[in-house]
Structure 1
């Protein structure tokens, strides 16, 4: 079944919605409003992170959205992530998760990810996630931004295979080697930046296909990712776009046109290890929790 209620079964048997709303670079108030809007229009997966600084607003949005739509907690799939500077042993990570649960106003997390593979701590942190999973505080565990070398090391040193590897994935960055490796180990690839930070929307091939199928460029890209069986989170705070991004289930891209998009891969990343502070002292990203306004009561 195609639709926002459609799920994919993760390697531990948990069902995860295939398309969700992300709230990166969004204030607490905007996160709340976007989440309420998304749930109203059928979204059942919400993706946030400690680093985004908006877990309180996201949590309010989840609770308000569920109440307005008459939904139960188990109807919404919530993903959040362990911040780089808070990685470490079980005691440390467990306290961090308790704080995140408090901020979100939830009793458990559906999917808990290591946000970045901080070389000094990601193995220890993942062992902590394994224990939290066994305790039932999280329904599934995984990672984000893991290349094949780091994923290989994690698989060698861990007991539980990650359910998800959340990566930058869009028409010009298709992570072919990572996708192949993860798939061979039963790890589901999930796309962040599915529209290429907006750059893919102006690609001539995407524009031509949008005209051919009488769709927006974003709808073409999201439908392409859907047909590639990529779990996707897409960000917007505008109701029109939130609805438009989910309106991809009444058409299908032909095999020929799928291949045209597949050929757009440039193997270029908007953000990767060279920009990542924890691996490069001159890096620009990942070193602090974003400062966003508190949620207005």
Structure 2
């Protein structure tokens, strides 16, 4: 990490997963970042203090993430790297092959978290994929196993047929789509909730509840929403390619929302999806 940069690097709290592994509560996502821009963006994030990087096979930028990790002098044990199994690669043998491909692109000998990207229920392969992921966990090639975009029925099936309870379910979550029922299922089964699209791609940033708190606290609307996630206990992975925004998104540990603030933001839930519904996406 550059020592010339005047910025003080924040200490990011961690969430302990159901297998004892700790994940930074705030990480850096690279969804929709082109591979040739990813290295620069991830390097800026590492310099700003992020230690958790979230990518996926379908993003096409695992190689770019790997280049940034290779160029960094941050010890591997201080980093938390997540990638995801794409839908076309589901199934037991295909999952093992896809994992090897991702690991090669990242240039790593293990990842910290490996997720099934979508349940794609019409394919009906996610239980087979999960068995392969359980094997990778047993072999020590992934430190924690999880899923993404799973609904309670999908999670229940893994619990009924598998040996491991997913450590994480990464889902679309923001003030406009608060997923209370799903979060309650997670809490009851020891599954950590991780939010993708935590700012609803900007759609919640002009909510009056958010802008009023931003004005009062002197923080940006995005910082207010990220703080709301943190105080809910959610793991959150904002994405940006702008260095100033990357730094701003991690600068959320020097203020707190009041109980009234949380209540005001909680009241803005409105079933606002920016992505597909997991039951229909195949």
Question: Same fold per TM (> 0.5)?
Answer: yes
Correspondence 1:21 to 2:49? no
Question: Residues 202-241 of structure 1: matches in 2 within 5 Å?
Answer: 202-241=206-245
Looking at structure 2, the residues matched to 179 and 24 of structure 1 have their Cα atoms a distance apart, in angstroms, of 23
Question: Residues 22-171 of structure 1: matches in 2 within 5 Å?
Answer: 22-64=29-71, 66-67=72-73, 71-89=74-92, 91-119=93-121, 120-171=124-175
Looking at structure 1, the residues matched to 176 and 272 of structure 2 have their Cα atoms a distance apart, in angstroms, of 7
Q: Deviations over 1:125-163 (max 9, x none)?
A: 001100110001100000000011111112111110000
Q: CA deviation at 1:4?
A: 4.0
Deviates most, 10-19 or 268-277:
268-277
Gaps (5+ residues) in structure 2? 1-9
Q: Which of 227, 248, 253 matches 1:249?
A: 253
1:48/1:79 contact within 8 Å kept: yes
Looking at structure 1, the residues matched to 267 and 194 of structure 2 have their Cα atoms a distance apart, in angstroms, of 20
- TM-score norm. by structure 1 comes to 0.89
Q: What RMSD, in angstroms, separates the aligned Cα atoms of the two structures?
A: 1.2
Match of 1:290 in 2: none
1:4/1:19 contact within 8 Å kept: no
Looking at structure 1, the residues matched to 90 and 11 of structure 2 have their Cα atoms a distance apart, in angstroms, of 33
Stretches of 4+ aligned residues off by more than 3 angstroms: 274-277
Q: Which of 273, 279, 282 matches 1:269?
A: 273
Gaps (5+ residues) in structure 1? 279-297
Looking at structure 1, the residues matched to 279 and 263 of structure 2 have their Cα atoms a distance apart, in angstroms, of 31
Correspondence 1:9 to 2:16? yes
Looking at structure 2, the residues matched to 158 and 277 of structure 1 have their Cα atoms a distance apart, in angstroms, of 23
- TM-score norm. by structure 2 comes to 0.93
